[in-house]
Amino acid sequence: MIDSHCHLDHSPLYEKLDQIVNRAESSGVECLLTISTTLRSFEMIKRIILKYKNIYGSIGIHPHETKDHINVDKKKLILLRNENNKIIGIGETGLDFYYQNSEKLIQKKKFVEHIEAAIDLDLPIIVHSRNAEIDTFNILKDFSSRNPKILMHCFTGSSDFLEKMLNLGAYISLSGIITFNKSKELQKTASLVPIDRLLIETDSPYLAPMPKRGSANEPSFIKYTANKLAEIKQISYENLIVYTSNNFYKLFSLNQ
């Protein structure tokens, strides 16, 4: 299995990272992608990927944090990425109009700069979208002629949004939210994701799946999401793992 999106630099994971990684490996997780949200986050991620062979990282500023990272532009992102070839994606970036911790215009500007950096580097763009389906799609559509590699992280959108993103060539990553009892509509939408565009993630330490809901999430819990998704897609657990792992390696241009 591959956890395509986790935050190993966040508490309480970082403080006991050896244990977290060992449990993940014991559960069948062979590779992890730990995601940058701030410049401080990125510095911690560099230390993590240096220590662990099977962990990769990204460089990006979460939409919540854009107001405090005005000077992190396209050139800065490219410079930071080129410090380390284990940085394999740009993000987490995108739009979050639910909390609006940063102004919409700032979020949009930084989202565009992240997309441009990803295209120039030929790396996937890891996209967060909440209460912002129209703007997220329209911004990405503007770059469609340049064929960006898009990964929609922790997808919880509508079936219409899914169709639009798939038409842009996006890959779709699903989290433990699909295991929640109240996620019936999302489960229906998840069933529509083509198997060759599907990834899984934990978004740990957040969004622990059933039956671990209420506790801090960790990469070893991804097996619960995989099991539920196999049920939704009506394929075996083993095949689900093969497809989602192959999709990850293909999207991020990694050798298996």
Task: State pTM to two decimals.
Answer: 0.97
Integer angstrom CA distances of residue 101 from 5, 108, 139, 205: 22, 13, 20, 20
Structure tokens at 150: 């898009």
pLDDT tens per residue across span 66-90? 999 999 999 999 999 999 999 999 9
DSSP state of 173: E
* Element (DSSP H or E) covering residue 226: helix 222-233
pLDDT at 128: 98
Q: Is it true that the peptide bond before 218 is cis, omega within 30 degrees of 0?
A: no
pLDDT tens track of the chain, all 256 residues?
999 999 999 999 999 999 999 999 999 999 999 999 999 999 999 999 999 999 999 999 999 999 999 999 999 999 999 999 999 999 999 999 998 899 999 999 999 999 999 999 999 999 999 999 999 999 999 999 999 999 999 999 999 999 999 999 999 999 999 999 999 999 999 999 999 999 999 999 999 999 999 999 999 999 999 999 999 999 999 999 999 999 999 999 998 7
**Start-to-end Cα distance in the chain:** 12
CB under 8 Å to 14, separation ≥6 — which residues?
Answer: 8, 44
pLDDT at 256: 79
pLDDT tens per residue across span 21-44? 999 999 999 999 999 999 999 999
